[in-house]
Amino acid sequence: MKVAIIQCPVWGVADPPLALAQLAGCLWHANIEFKVFDLNIALWAEAPSSRKTDWAWEHWASWNDAVWARNFCEEHSAELDRFAAKIAACEPDVALFSVHAGAQNSSLDMAERLRGISPRLGIVMGGEYFSDFEETAAAALGPGGLPDVVVSGAGEDVVVKLLGLMGATRRWMALPGVWVRNGNGWNRGPRPVPFTFDLDLSPPLDFSGFPNVLAYENPVQMPMSSSRGCPWSCRFCSSRSYWPRYSFKSGDRIFGDVARALSHQPAWRHVAFYDIVANGRPETLKRFAELSMEHGLSQAGMTWSMNAVVRPEMEPGLLDIMSRSGCKEIVYGIESASPALLDFMGRPPYTPSLAERVIKDTRMSGINAWASMIVGHPQESPSEFQATMKWLEALRGSLSGVVANPYVLEAAARKVSPSGAPGADATTVAGRIETLRNWCGAREIPIKERVFSLPPQEVAVI
């Protein structure tokens, strides 16, 4: 059996898609022949400079707009046809699409192009976009016949079994978490088993199939993960829908993954950990840092960065080891300086004073410290927003930057909060963002902005 692993156009071209490397590692481990096709970077590389901004992370909402995405695919139809022909020329038996939110429209477009060339090609889709795949979502895909199979939830182990059974029986099996198209309907397998796999036993990431890492926007950056999921269950975060449990790698395994990836792509000089929370187990960070110094990676100029939460273990001793091993940046999910709002969000217990101490210690150790803030949460009162601004002011000498995450609520979500106060509307959110933007500008502190919609599970409790 031959498999084409495909990433279709979507926002983000900084570095190779981590999901494709994970799938490639699993198929390699199972002795399944495969070829990687990152159509996203291929199309971005050919786009004129005036259109490259379409791939900026700030434009993620456009990619989720079916009309915008359809127009995009039509505009690039000739290039997409050429990519489809290139995939088909390899004569794969199965096209395996990795789909996260934003890639669903271009993935269905490419699936149709491939089916037009190779009518017998099996089309399988999975990934974060399909994590909550239920009857309503299945119906939304329509009766067009694509894809043939949807894998919901953690998919690597299931995909390997699915492909193995397909090769042996020539038919798709509705395994746990797998939906198989049956005419205009679907045969649904049992619910997916929650992911509890020991990540130290998982197949290593495989970047060897990526044709040219130098083509990416940041050619020296290696994508990496040290865990899956998050130890906490914050109400504003959707990660629990696709990683309901937290799993993590040991420091030895993290170092092994980094070293192996470097053996394939020696041009990489920076490791970007894309974990939701990379310090879920601080002891693994310490071990990874120690091994990086012991084996000379930090001395050779290798650097790394991560996302993290505030916790007492982020103390000067650990931060000093991390800094000396090459850690250059930590983005802390602070969200707010209001204890009441943090409690409502379901954030892990920490006080604004602890957050202040951790950020100052981080900067003192030589690591850039960013604060990621949620602005305009429907429970955020004017006084709570002002308390957050006051907290930021106290840290103006320690902050390396601010990530502003404004909530823009749909009309149906503008309900009253449990305290009876009205939820923040778009005008209020815009005003608070402008205040934060002006504050950063006056102090020459970098700011990144991104718009989020309120998750359905949180709308219900407002």
Q: What is the pLDDT along the chain (462 residues), one digit of tens a residue?
A: 999 999 999 999 999 999 999 999 999 999 999 999 999 999 999 999 999 999 998 788 899 899 999 999 999 999 999 999 999 999 999 999 999 889 999 999 999 999 999 999 999 999 988 887 776 667 667 667 899 999 987 788 899 999 999 998 989 999 998 999 988 788 999 887 666 578 999 999 999 888 778 889 999 999 999 999 888 888 777 777 777 788 999 999 999 999 999 988 889 999 999 999 999 999 999 999 999 999 999 899 999 999 999 999 999 999 999 999 999 999 999 999 999 999 888 887 688 899 999 999 999 999 999 999 999 888 889 999 999 999 999 999 999 999 998 875 433 333 333 333 444 567 788 899 999 999 999 999 999 987 544 443 333 322
Cite the residue boundaries of each domain of the chain with CATH code 3.80.30.20: 199-459
pLDDT score for 132: 73
Q: 421 with 375: CB under 8 angstroms?
A: no
Query: Tokens standing for 2?
Result: 């031959």
One CATH from 3.40.50.880, 3.30.930.10, 3.30.70.2190, 3.80.30.20 for 199-459? 3.80.30.20
pLDDT score for 104: 93
The per-residue DSSP string of 395-455 comes to TTTT-SEEEEEEB---GGG--B-TTSPBPP-HHHHHHHHHHHHHHHHHHT--EEE--BPPP
pLDDT score for 138: 72
Q: 17 with 38: CB under 8 angstroms?
A: yes
- At residue 304, the 3 state secondary structure works out as strand
Cite the residue boundaries of each domain of the chain with CATH code 3.40.50.280: 2-188
- Residue 368 burial (10 A CB sphere; 0-12, 13-18, 19+): middle
pLDDT score for 451: 56
One CATH from 3.40.50.280, 3.40.50.1450, 3.30.429.10, 3.40.630.30 for 2-188? 3.40.50.280
Q: Rounded to whole angstroms, what are the CA distances from 67 to 11, 74, 92, 285?
A: 16, 11, 30, 44
pLDDT score for 209: 87
Alpha-carbon span 401 to 103, nearest angstrom: 29
Query: Tokens standing for 250?
Result: 């040991």
Cis peptide before 147 (omega within 30 of 0): yes
Helix orientation angle between 39-46 and 77-89, rounded to the nearest 10 degrees = 140
Strands 368-375 and 401-406: parallel
pLDDT score for 45: 94
